[in-house]
Structure 1
């Protein structure tokens, strides 16, 4: 359907892509992953025709239509209703509807037979294109994405960026392009909507490319992972869980190949150095020099799983009780968020606040922070100091500061070395620490804002959707940092993997009250099953907490019928390779010793005193001939062993 061939794209003198290739097949579901800044969104824009590659080509079949959901659509506004905007997907049907209305109006004024014929033709085409069902289809998709029936007639401009993004997603889904490209679609969806999109994409008849940091979303919807790394597009036939396993296996094989190749290069270089001055070995030396020049070098494996080696501490220990609400109520006009709710948290609580959008999760965080007035009592515990992270706080970063200056502002007591350590934990190294905030990407700004929160020495954190705009490596770093954090926190997140990794209690909003489950997210899901609430899926915040299941490809790899062929050498070959390498080492030691003996004999033969005693010359000549022959035989054996290693490697 789409063939990407030898694609190269440069940002200044940096190659974002370097001779990368990929074939996208009909109905293929691809998860496009990679670190922030590796060019995932750029690739989507090149496929969409917005950017042109510097080298290579992107060819598409004639019937390939493309729908692209990107973050730029957040700014789209219109006075039309959201239903009308979504129905713009049906361009031809809308044109036919206008014609039908026009013909009917003319017939009311001046009835003619030709108008009847024209109306019949237009209505026939309209019916063939399912024109009479397009409104019900649009309504079904919009309501599946979280809109209520009364919302459908509201103007698009009245909705926030996240809700506008849902309307644009609905429009794309209604268009049913041959290739649907989704750039971080889960950033602006709550979990019931994510579950709905998962099911829709699973059954989508066309091909799909998804850029997402949501591991479970990728596990549930894709059958192929394409990793952007080192300017290449690396293909893995399976979902994200399979990719993790296969990536580890490939790294192990690559690491072994790299080490073997380096050993071979060192041996070849020793051969060239040893025999480069010998005329009898000139041919072999030149052959090996050419072989080195032609060799395709194996890249060293770079560990992309960054570890946090910094303890985020605070100086003031809070009392036992961190926070408490008593008979708290909060409403916006007729919309009631909380009604006489009571809740408290204690020191060491790591709470995930979950619930569908519109239930009031962000409102609750603001209530906890004291920035949202309520009826009732809000009480912070003794010595509790808190800091609040939300997406809008990215705007509070000082754009003129570099990274060190921004963190120094958050915690003046830290030395530059300590701040560099923190920045290293958040993937900023070397000269990156002197970058100005204004040149950072959205994901990089999020990492800096999170680093500031963790450096603030607060013993109570409030985090509203902290994983938005972070790549998977950055999410992993945040998970490690929160696991090491010794204070308390409340986190709002729709990322199921993230919630399962960092929460020891679950808060949820039900019947206008904040309720608590005293356990992990997985335990909370099991508890819901026991309560028989699985029928209320649309009312739950998070859908599945079970550990990611093995993909079909992974399952096949573990059974006898679909076992994966192991590209590593067989055990017998490995044993022979180790023996040959050991022999090479022994032979090289012998060659060094024999060359020293030969040099000593040559020195004695050149000494006139060796001729003074009868029989000495004869003895030296015989010994010299024996040593020379033994050296030649040992060198020949070394060459044979080298060839054997080359065949076994």
Structure 2
């Protein structure tokens, strides 16, 4: 058990987060989520005893191991041997991740800490990672922005929000549903608060009107009458003033409820003069590409239709970036003459470092500054942050600015190479909304299944040096495969059941029927 109490964590003069009480069970499989900069990595470093600069206590009575994905020394000789890889051989990032994790999983009765375990992994390697973590009895705590990965591996979500840790005892889907429920509850509380505050303000207005109607002394009254009238009026006014003061006190005692944030949909429309009405925007016919003896494409064909949002998929090293470069350089690929391509890559530098964020965007934007600020705010760049110079920004912040610049520059075709890398979940969701509201066409590369399913209406898949097109998203593409796998499991179950009966003492007639059934099932199995 890991027991955490009365934690206060600050960095310099900045308060990062507080934890009044938190317990982590050895079998908890936890996803730690939250916006960038909220302290996720800091918390993992505190658990691994790499950061001791905090007040409060962290007590552990279990082994804890933080995985260093880039440390080759973490890989055991046994894991090298099992995978038939030489100890001194060069390892790809995917191989490194796999071998480091296998070595970590050998550590029995050890609680694992992992920071972004799926970075740069293709779907096949990621699925293997999911299987390995799912079959592990002992728990782990991981930081990840991959929602599909979290859903398939974790049974508890901890979100750092507003400097506090919020626990959700369930999967990521449960977290989403519970978040909606909590947001609705917050909206009801806000509406109840404002209704009561408005009612009490109305009472004050009524009392104030009553006080104002208390008559002044008529001029015809003599001194004695005026004195008596004034005494009565003053008494009544004091009484009403006392009532007003009591109601104001009740308003002050109300627990203030902030209005839940609601963001309107943004539609990034392409200007009429920039639109193209051709059916096909990109066409590749009989594409061939090789680097020496390494053949990437051989007689490959593809086309990208107008108004489509296409996910380019393939294993690491299959040629995704190569195809993008061929498109950008017009290397054997026909592009419509009215196509205006906006290209995003983590490595591509399109920003003026000596200018502010807002200056960079307004230099090329087809929208006014108000709209540009709204788009930046969706990506987490708000208020005076827009006046920061680009040269002082982190890599993640620069990536946000580059994406916003591309989205506001009037391009009618976007090519996005891994646009979600290094973003937190909220930023990824904001980017999804912006791309859904973008009216041009998109070709993008991503290893984020949820992102792909949210954006793509078409898949372009690199297989065996060819390009295969599929109309639909990733979930629709994988569905037949999942059905096939389920059917395969069903056949295995039936074969095992028949085989079990054949081992029993049964009549000749029943045995003959079962043997025929067994042959039929085995034949179906071989046909898959």
CA distance, structure 1, for counterparts of residue 360 and residue 44 of structure 2: 33
CA distance, structure 2, for counterparts of residue 485 and residue 396 of structure 1: 20
Q: Which runs of 5+ in 1 are unaligned?
A: 77-81, 88-133, 144-148, 536-649
CA distance, structure 1, for counterparts of residue 67 and residue 414 of structure 2: 36
Matched, 1:86 2:75: yes
Report the 3-state secondary structure (helix = DSSP H, G, I; strand = E; otherwise coil) of the residue aligned with 1:323.
Answer: strand
After the TM superposition, which residues 394-409 of structure 1 pair with which residues of structure 2 at under 5 Å, given as runs? 397-409=351-363
Tell me the matched-pair count.
Answer: 458
Cα distance change of structure 1 residues 532 and 166 upon mapping to structure 2, 3 Å threshold: closer
Report the 3-state secondary structure (helix = DSSP H, G, I; strand = E; otherwise coil) of the residue aligned with 1:336.
Answer: strand
Report the 3-state secondary structure (helix = DSSP H, G, I; strand = E; otherwise coil) of the residue aligned with 1:476.
Answer: helix
1:342 is aligned to: 301
1:379 is aligned to: 334
Report the 3-state secondary structure (helix = DSSP H, G, I; strand = E; otherwise coil) of the residue aligned with 2:397.
Answer: helix
CA distance, structure 1, for counterparts of residue 53 and residue 252 of structure 2: 32
Cα RMSD, aligned residues only:
3.7
Report the 3-state secondary structure (helix = DSSP H, G, I; strand = E; otherwise coil) of the residue aligned with 2:453.
Answer: helix
Deviations 1:213-258 (A, max 9, x none): 2221111111111111111111111111111111121222233344
Tell me if structure 1 keeps the 8 A contact 2:281–2:304.
yes
**Aligned with residue 478 of structure 1, among 431, 450, 457:** 431
1:101 is aligned to: none
After the TM superposition, which residues 120-269 of structure 1 pair with which residues of structure 2 at under 5 Å, given as runs? 135=78, 137-138=79-80, 149=84, 153-156=88-91, 159=92, 164-165=96-97, 167-175=99-107, 178-260=110-192
Report the 3-state secondary structure (helix = DSSP H, G, I; strand = E; otherwise coil) of the residue aligned with 1:186.
Answer: coil
2:377 is aligned to: 424
After the TM superposition, which residues 542-553 of structure 1 pair with which residues of structure 2 at under 5 Å, given as runs? none
Cα distance change of structure 1 residues 449 and 138 upon mapping to structure 2, 3 Å threshold: same
CA distance, structure 2, for counterparts of residue 474 and residue 206 of structure 1: 31
1:42 is aligned to: 42
Report the 3-state secondary structure (helix = DSSP H, G, I; strand = E; otherwise coil) of the residue aligned with 1:422.
Answer: helix
CA distance, structure 1, for counterparts of residue 433 and residue 376 of structure 2: 14
Q: TM-score of the superposition, structure 1-length normalised?
A: 0.63
Q: Which runs of 5+ in 2 are unaligned?
A: 208-234, 489-528
Report the 3-state secondary structure (helix = DSSP H, G, I; strand = E; otherwise coil) of the residue aligned with 1:188.
Answer: coil
Tell me if structure 2 keeps the 8 A contact 1:388–1:463.
yes
CA distance, structure 2, for counterparts of residue 266 and residue 6 of structure 1: 38
CA distance, structure 2, for counterparts of residue 46 and residue 477 of structure 1: 30
1:309 is aligned to: 266
1:355 is aligned to: 314
Report the 3-state secondary structure (helix = DSSP H, G, I; strand = E; otherwise coil) of the residue aligned with 2:118.
Answer: helix
Structure with more of its chain in helix, by fraction = 1
Q: TM-score of the superposition, structure 2-length normalised?
A: 0.76
2:524 is aligned to: none
Deviations 1:324-376 (A, max 9, x none): 222211223332211111212221221111122222222222222228x6xxx
Tell me if structure 2 keeps the 8 A contact 1:86–1:171.
yes
Deviations 1:583-638 (A, max 9, x none): xxxxxxxxxxxxxxxxxxxxxxxxxxxxxxxxxxxxxxxxxxxxxxxxxxxxxxxx
Cα distance change of structure 1 residues 337 and 477 upon mapping to structure 2, 3 Å threshold: same
- Structure of higher CA gyration radius: 1
